[in-house]
Structure 1
Amino acid sequence: MSGGLLVAGTTSDAGKSVVTAGICRWLVRQGVKVAPFKGQNMSLNSFVTREGAEIGRAQAMQAQAARVEPTALMNPVLLKPGSDRSSQVVLMGKPVGELSARGYHGGRQESLLGTVLECLEELRGTYDAVICEGAGSPAEINLRRTDIVNMGIARAARLPVVVVGDIDRGGVFASFFGTVALLSPEDQALIAGFLVNKFRGDVSLLEPGLDMLQRITGRRTFGVLPYRHGLGIDEEDGLRVSLRGSVRESVVAPPVGEDVLRVAVCAIPLMSNFTDVDALAAEPGVVVRFVDRAEELVDADLVVVPGTRGTVKALEWLRERGLADAIARRAAEGRPVLGICGGFQVLGEHIEDEVESRAGHVEGLGLLPVRVRFAKEKTLTRPSGTALGEPVEGYEIHHGVAEVTGGEAFLDGCRVGEVWGTHWHGSLESDGFRRAFLREVARAAGRRFVPAPGTSFSALREEQLDLLGDLIEEHADTSALLRLIETGAPSGLPFLAPGAPS
């Protein structure tokens, strides 16, 4: 086999990431050597590969689904929003500057198509199949000229396209038809069919609509995937807790001890890598919720200030909402606070920022003896070490350089009383370290909480990826998908004029 497939969607968050991961896991279980790919990603959730390249976490997750090591080839262009109008452009894993949306779509994006296609071609020369994920909708006709992630790459690489629609949102049939009808004849020729996602109920009730959709579009539906709660995968963006969670508060497995632990995560602006708390949510007896009001910290046993692409903006937000004062009171009372990356910087004495916000000297919360200076070069590393008597691994993504002047050493940061700070993302995925940290939190909080000794975050993640593979294997026409990957879109697919089904 030597082929590829583009998984597009009627909208953002239609389920492209999970479907791509599910197809990768299904294929690798069939003995196919497969890799994921997304030419351009916009996300604040990113990951560092072993060679020190920054890519979207969704592509790292899909690589795990495919049981391969993630590389920059799998996500050559990553956009990290810094505001509504500008983003940091990360090219082949390294930041190359900030651009406005107009500047990017006005010329820079077109120049990147060659790089994107070269990466895809290299992957296709190495793997039996490459499963590509689109972005947003392929029918964003205002951006078609500069598209390097949807139909632009499908046309250039002659990839067949399956369009995913979220039926839970409603209007999925109109979305499928409209998506195809808005495309040019050349683009429509590559749209092989549809995949319905998040269906609840009896599939037989859906079949008349699917039959009519095929009659008016000439394209089949490759499967109807049922709604599944708690599919814990690393999404591009979206406030939720994976593995055992929902949008606002995680579902708690029964605790091993007598008490549960309550974790409040400050939902700061431009929050990045909030997936750090997924490992906490995976622990039996731990509740994780995202908060934006000071009163929501009152009953929390641990407050987490997560990473952010806007450290100074996050500081202002915490102060405006009274959360800064509430966190300071907690620290004075000896109640646990954890700052990660930008959250760690927020807890320090002061920040010198002429790079990210260009705000110059800014006073921090003063809870840790740390001074931060923003450097133009971004730190991208995969450190490992020991903390609380346990081995720990993590990854770092930051411009801020921290000078620690006191306190007790904690990973690359420090600890003062029950206030902890580190730049290390992903450290809580190390099972022994996570349990040791939670024991410290429980002691300080006065809780009779006992971490579950057998909880393996990596095993839970593998279970979730297998569930995604099962969804494809059990509810999609895998034989037809395999033919698409091997031979491309069928010839003779009809052209639909907008608004005129026939």
Structure 2
Amino acid sequence: MKGVMIQGTASDVGKSLVVTALCRLFALEDVKVAPFKSQNMSNNSYVTADGKEIGRAQGIQAEAAKIEASVWMNPILLKPRSDMQSEVVLLGKAVQTLSGKGYRAHFYDEGLKVIKEALHKLEANFDVLVIEGAGSPAEINLKERELVNMKVAELADVPVILVADIDRGGVFANVVGTLELLDPDERKRVKGIFINKFRGDMSLFEDGAKWLEERTGVPVLGVLPYVHDHMIDGEDSLSIQTNRKGNGDIDIAVIHLPFISNYSDIEPFYDEEDVSIRFIKNPSQFGQPDAVIIPGTKSTIHDLSYIIESGLAMRLNDYVKKGGRIVGLCGGYQMLGQEIVDVAGSDTGIVGNRLKGLQLIPSTTVFTAEKKTVRFNGRYAPSVQVSGNRPIAGYEIHLGVTEPIENGSPFLILDDGKEEGYYGHEGKIIGTYVHHLFHNDEFRNYWLNRIREEKQLPTKEVVYRQDLKEEKYDELSLTLKQHMDWERVKEIVHSWGT
């Protein structure tokens, strides 16, 4: 198998971004390339064309590689549901919920089998694989039964490039310490080092690169810059931009739920110059926002309990009474209703558990055992006066069915004619299951312009973010290419094992 594995000295060092760039660089040279991550732990999901669920990072990487994403690119997805348990998504379908200990004890052999199958499928259809690790390969307590770092490099029989983050400090200790903790056979696979997230004059690191090469015997293949505004969705909670004030005149508060998921729903606002995003966790941080967003969650009832117990529920109700604007996305939509009933125990593990909602929209949500994962296409309901002719697109990933208690105003109309979501108070309260609502550029512009008009700010033209995406993939990859030895990277890929 031809390929390379990108491993890191820690989480959030930039592995996903580097893999995305390498996928696009190979694709630009007409190489049939695919991303792969054996096991992903993230509540940020991506729905494939056939309605399967994988980690968002691998979906983005597939887009960069100019191919359609499939479950074989991320056969195992772990979605944390509490501090102790995660939902196991196997080949795109949720199969069970396990503790970390239970997962390691009972799932290892099955996981190993499906990873081998996935590698075999991808090898048959692609010329090069760019494989992503997770966290660090030097976690001694986890190495014996790990399924995502050096074990995968061994199964695929590919070389490894180690990525270290200089922005957080300690880069020399991180690189040397990681290599020292690897077994001799593992260390032999490491054929290069990327120093990532460098700010300033790169010539100042020349002596550092030389020292690392002399100390470790591994070449530094690139000192990669800190890339701002790359528009590549984050993978896990460490990558959330929790505060982006800037000079934004529009203040949007996002409830930072303990089990927040699919927070990539918020990322389009970072490209709106007059918008500031704040993630808030308690009433003291609430302030006087122009709008509030309750995002998705991996455990609606747990996070709704958090909102109630923290006092945020009371603030949200007062805010709405005073004419505030609020959007609930997926789990956030469920919270806005009158009541949530966990009939099957699929959300909390407690059959029949029920909890009053925020009482802001006339609906009830019932959790059943079946999970819905599907791409969404539809149009706006007549009461939603969005200009432009683009249909609305996104995806749904959720347990539970939300039904209106009384006839009200739907937000969207599905292609099959069914009504979806809630649109009330002249658009000041919106609830929907559709993830990536604000990635629909015309709707985001419509929603923001209504806020601008209320604040007597000038309205703005649509920022067509979706149309910029392909340009951003090219821009990211070519920027990183300028700062790495690309020819040597390709030589490592193609000469390995020969």
The normalised TM-score by structure 2 is 0.91
Matching residue of 1:481: 489
- Separation in 1, partners of 2:78, 2:362: 33
Which letter does structure 1 place at the counterpart of 2:244?
E
1:351–1:16 Cα change, 3 Å: same
Q: CA deviation at 1:468?
A: 2.0
Structure 2 counterparts to residues 91-130 of structure 1, below 5 A:
91-130=90-129
1:419–1:239 Cα change, 3 Å: farther
1:64–1:251 Cα change, 3 Å: farther
- Of 243, 249, 257, which residue of structure 1 is paired with 2:244? 249
- DSSP 3-state at the match of 1:44: coil
Q: Is the 8 A contact 1:239 1:248 kept in 2?
A: no
Structure 2 counterparts to residues 296-307 of structure 1, below 5 A:
296-307=285-296
Q: CA deviation at 1:125?
A: 1.9
Matching residue of 1:198: 197
- Per-residue CA deviation, residues 389-411 of structure 1 (Å, 9 max, x unaligned), is 55211101111111123321012
- DSSP 3-state at the match of 1:287: strand
Structure 2 counterparts to residues 356-367 of structure 1, below 5 A:
356-359=347-350, 360-367=353-360
1:333 aligns with 2:333: no
Matching residue of 2:212: 213
Which letter does structure 2 place at the counterpart of 1:84?
D
1:250–1:488 Cα change, 3 Å: farther
Matching residue of 2:400: 400
- DSSP 3-state at the match of 1:366: coil
Q: Give the count of matched residue pairs.
A: 477
- Separation in 2, partners of 1:322, 1:450: 35
Matching residue of 1:282: 271
- Separation in 2, partners of 1:81, 1:57: 15
Which letter does structure 2 place at the counterpart of 1:267?
H
- Cα RMSD after superposing both structures: 1.9
Matching residue of 2:429: 419
- Separation in 1, partners of 2:78, 2:105: 15
Which letter does structure 1 place at the counterpart of 2:136?
S
Q: CA deviation at 1:295?
A: 4.5
Matching residue of 2:298: 309
State which drifts further: 215-224 or 48-57. Answer: 215-224
1:77 aligns with 2:81: no
Q: Is the 8 A contact 1:261 1:449 kept in 2?
A: no
- Separation in 2, partners of 1:65, 1:192: 24
Matching residue of 2:226: 227
- Separation in 1, partners of 2:167, 2:497: 27
- Separation in 2, partners of 1:177, 1:280: 39
Matching residue of 1:469: 477
Q: CA deviation at 1:455?
A: 0.9
1:270 aligns with 2:270: no
Q: Is the 8 A contact 1:33 1:128 kept in 2?
A: yes
- Separation in 2, partners of 1:405, 1:113: 47
Q: Is the 8 A contact 1:26 1:472 kept in 2?
A: no
- Of 329, 332, 342, which residue of structure 2 is paired with 1:343? 332
Structure 2 counterparts to residues 376-455 of structure 1, below 5 A:
376-387=369-380, 388-390=384-386, 391-406=391-406, 407-411=408-412, 412-417=420-425, 418-442=428-452, 446-455=454-463
Q: CA deviation at 1:210?
A: 2.1
- Per-residue CA deviation, residues 111-154 of structure 1 (Å, 9 max, x unaligned), is 21121122122112212211010000111122222222110010
- Per-residue CA deviation, residues 73-118 of structure 1 (Å, 9 max, x unaligned), is 1111000011121100000010000000001112312321121122
- Separation in 2, partners of 1:32, 1:104: 36
1:463–1:14 Cα change, 3 Å: same
1:251–1:47 Cα change, 3 Å: farther
- Give structure 1 stretches of 5+ with no counterpart: 254-259, 491-502
- Per-residue CA deviation, residues 23-82 of structure 1 (Å, 9 max, x unaligned), is 111221222221111000000111111101111111111112112111111111000011
Which letter does structure 2 place at the counterpart of 1:288?
I
- Separation in 2, partners of 1:208, 1:481: 22
- Per-residue CA deviation, residues 151-177 of structure 1 (Å, 9 max, x unaligned), is 001011111000000011222122212
1:299–1:489 Cα change, 3 Å: farther
- Per-residue CA deviation, residues 375-428 of structure 1 (Å, 9 max, x unaligned), is 111110111111125521110111111112332101221122121100110121
- Separation in 2, partners of 1:29, 1:316: 49
- Separation in 1, partners of 2:251, 2:238: 18
State which drifts further: 110-119 or 457-466. Answer: 457-466
Q: CA deviation at 1:307?
A: 0.5
- Separation in 1, partners of 2:246, 2:74: 32
Matching residue of 2:415: none
1:323–1:53 Cα change, 3 Å: same
Which letter does structure 1 place at the counterpart of 2:338?
E
- DSSP 3-state at the match of 2:96: strand
Which letter does structure 2 place at the counterpart of 1:208?
D
Q: CA deviation at 1:472?
A: 2.5
- DSSP 3-state at the match of 1:374: strand
Q: CA deviation at 1:252?
A: 5.1
- Separation in 2, partners of 1:284, 1:208: 39
- Per-residue CA deviation, residues 207-260 of structure 1 (Å, 9 max, x unaligned), is 22322322232211110002233333222213666xxxx43125457xxxxxx3
- Of 337, 349, 366, which residue of structure 2 is paired with 1:373? 366
Q: CA deviation at 1:276?
A: 0.6
State which drifts further: 463-472 or 219-228. Answer: 463-472
- Separation in 2, partners of 1:15, 1:239: 11
The normalised TM-score by structure 1 is 0.91
Q: CA deviation at 1:21?
A: 0.6
- Separation in 1, partners of 2:358, 2:462: 37
- Separation in 1, partners of 2:229, 2:302: 31
Q: CA deviation at 1:333?
A: 2.2
- DSSP 3-state at the match of 1:35: strand
- Separation in 2, partners of 1:362, 1:68: 43
- Separation in 1, partners of 2:472, 2:246: 16
1:275–1:151 Cα change, 3 Å: same
Q: CA deviation at 1:441?
A: 4.1
- Separation in 2, partners of 1:252, 1:484: 45
Q: CA deviation at 1:298?
A: 3.6
- Per-residue CA deviation, residues 411-450 of structure 1 (Å, 9 max, x unaligned), is 221122121100110121111222223334445xx22345
Q: Is the 8 A contact 2:449 2:460 kept in 1?
A: no
- DSSP 3-state at the match of 1:382: strand
State which drifts further: 70-79 or 59-68. Answer: 59-68
